[in-house]
């Protein structure tokens, strides 16, 4: 336990420990009490407890050694989950017989984490298995985007939407971890931690552990900002001055400084959206135009475009729109 990452060390051990997902917890508690579980589809933002929930369910149904008794199979995005794997590995596990233990429900669980990255062919093959082996196997699909799950598969599952964690839930968990690990966070450090993690508790815990390893037991607001890699307020103040100057050469030089400073461009764009929305003198229509341009740059970065060119494009468009 000492060597475990804090994300694993403090992963909820039972369903009752899941934070802020009251409807999911109450429904699953009833299913566990009855020993009857439907096919499940968990979807929502990362770091909100989807994988932790199904692991907690398996632990309560099959005991603490649930991974070793042949009743639990977990496949995630690092595994090949094309149609051949679904037809072979998943099918072989799904159709296998199980021992008739009196203290366990008469079914197995297959977890397909990040199921939205599966091909449509693999999902189509999965559809028939969910019907054919429903007597001995329950499927749990976990994804961020439910729209990428084909309708025939989604309609066979009980769907649960996971909401971004509220500040109160995240604060209590972070404070608990700080007490257990003897970490002293100064005033404002936890608020900064929650702000940069955007409702992702896994990210918040990883940032906290990194800050502890880097700076010891005393953690400040600046430590969290440095670990998270977010740009300081002064950088955006300087950027706005160049926007108001309406000089392309100055803007180009500033974009190059940002790139050479090593800040992730995706993080810069996300912070820039907040700066634009909070700007007092820009009209709502101009803000909308620039935010749309940021969204396009976000998509292009995901497709492998140049960070330098995308940031320069957004900054130039912002300057042009602002000064029209």
Question: pLDDT tens digits for 158-167?
Answer: 888 888 888 8
CB atoms within 10 A of CB 323: 10
Which token pair is 39? 């096919």
Structural domains present in the chain = 6-161 (3.40.50.300), 167-228 (1.10.8.60), 233-322 (1.20.272.10)
Distance CA 251, CA 243 (A): 7
The answer to whether the beta carbons of residues 163 and 134 sit under 8 Å apart is no
Cα dihedral sign, 102-138-83-145: negative
Nearest to 239 by CA among 225, 260, 222, 253: 253
Q: What whole-number percentage of the chain has pLDDT above 70?
A: 96
* Top-confidence residue, 151 or 195: 151
CB 205 within 8 A of CB 7: yes
Q: How far is Cα 109 from Cα 55, in angstroms, rounded to an integer?
A: 10
Which residues have C-beta within 8 Å of that of residue 14, sequence separation ≥ 6?
56, 59, 60
* pLDDT of residue 280 exceeding 90: no
Contact 162, 49 (CB under 8 A): yes
- CB-based contact 19:56 (threshold 8 Å): no
CA-to-CA distance for 74 and 111, rounded, in angstroms?
5
Q: What is the CA radius of gyration of the chain?
A: 24
* pLDDT for position 102: 62
Residue 292's pLDDT is what? 93
pLDDT in tens, 167-216: 888 888 888 888 888 888 877 888 888 888 877 888 888 888 888 888 77
Map residue 182 onto helix, strand or coil.
coil
What pLDDT score was predicted for residue 296? 92
Give the model's pLDDT for residue 11.
Answer: 84
Residue of 262, 259, 234, 233 whose CA lies nearest to 314 = 259
Better pLDDT: 230 or 296: 296
The model's pLDDT over 42-90, given as tens digits with 9 standing for 90+, comes to 998 888 888 888 888 888 888 777 777 778 888 876 666 667 777 777 8
User: pLDDT value at position 81?
Assistant: 64
Residue 61 CA: distances (Å) to CA of 50, 66, 76, 122: 17, 8, 21, 28
The reported pLDDT for the residue numbered 295 is 92
Q: Where are the alpha helices (DSSP H) in 133-247?
A: 151-154, 167-181, 189-197, 201-215, 221-228, 233-245
pTM: 0.75
Provide the pLDDT for residue 193: 86
| Mean pLDDT rounded to a whole number for the chain | 84
Print the SS3 string covering 85-143.
Answer: HHHHHHHHHHHCCCCCCCCCCCCEEEEECCHHHCCHHHHHHHHHHHHHCCCCEEEEEEE
């Amino acid at each position: 336990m000492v060597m475990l990452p804090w994300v694993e060390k403090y992963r909820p051990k039972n369903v009752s420990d899941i934070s802020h997902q009251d409807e999911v917890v109450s429904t699953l508690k009833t299913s566990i009490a009855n020993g009857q579980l439907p096919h499940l589809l968990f979807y929502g933002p990362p770091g909100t407890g989807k994988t932790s929930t199904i692991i907690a369910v398996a632990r309560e149904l099959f005991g603490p050694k649930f991974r070793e008794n042949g009743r639990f199979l977990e496949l995630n995005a690092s595994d090949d989950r094309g149609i051949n794997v679904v037809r072979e590995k998943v099918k072989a596990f799904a159709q296998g017989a199980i021992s008739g233990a009196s203290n366990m429900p008469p079914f197995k669980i297959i977890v397909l984490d990040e199921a939205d990255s599966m091909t449509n062919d693999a999902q189509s093959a999965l559809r028939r298995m969910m019907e054919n082996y429903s007597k001995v196997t329950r499927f749990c699909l976990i994804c961020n985007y439910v729209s990428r799950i084909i309708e025939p598969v989604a309609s066979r599952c009980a769907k649960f939407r996971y909401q971004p964690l509220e500040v109160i839930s995240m604060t209590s968990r972070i404070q608990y971890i700080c007490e257990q690990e003897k970490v002293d966070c100064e005033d404002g450090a936890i608020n900064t931690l929650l702000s940069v993690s955007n409702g992702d508790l896994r990210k918040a815990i990883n940032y906290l552990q990194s800050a502890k390893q880097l700076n010891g037991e005393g953690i400040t607001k600046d430590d969290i900002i440095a670990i998270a890699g977010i740009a300081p307020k002064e950088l955006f103040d300087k950027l706005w001055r160049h926007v108001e100057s309406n000089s392309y050469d100055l803007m180009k030089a500033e974009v190059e400084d940002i790139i050479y400073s090593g800040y992730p461009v995706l993080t810069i764009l996300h912070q820039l959206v907040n700066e634009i929305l909070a700007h007092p003198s820009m009209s709502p229509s101009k803000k909308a135009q620039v935010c749309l341009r940021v969204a396009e740059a976000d998509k292009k970065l995901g497709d492998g475009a140049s960070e330098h060119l995308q940031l320069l494009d957004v900054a130039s468009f912002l300057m042009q729109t602002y000064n029209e």
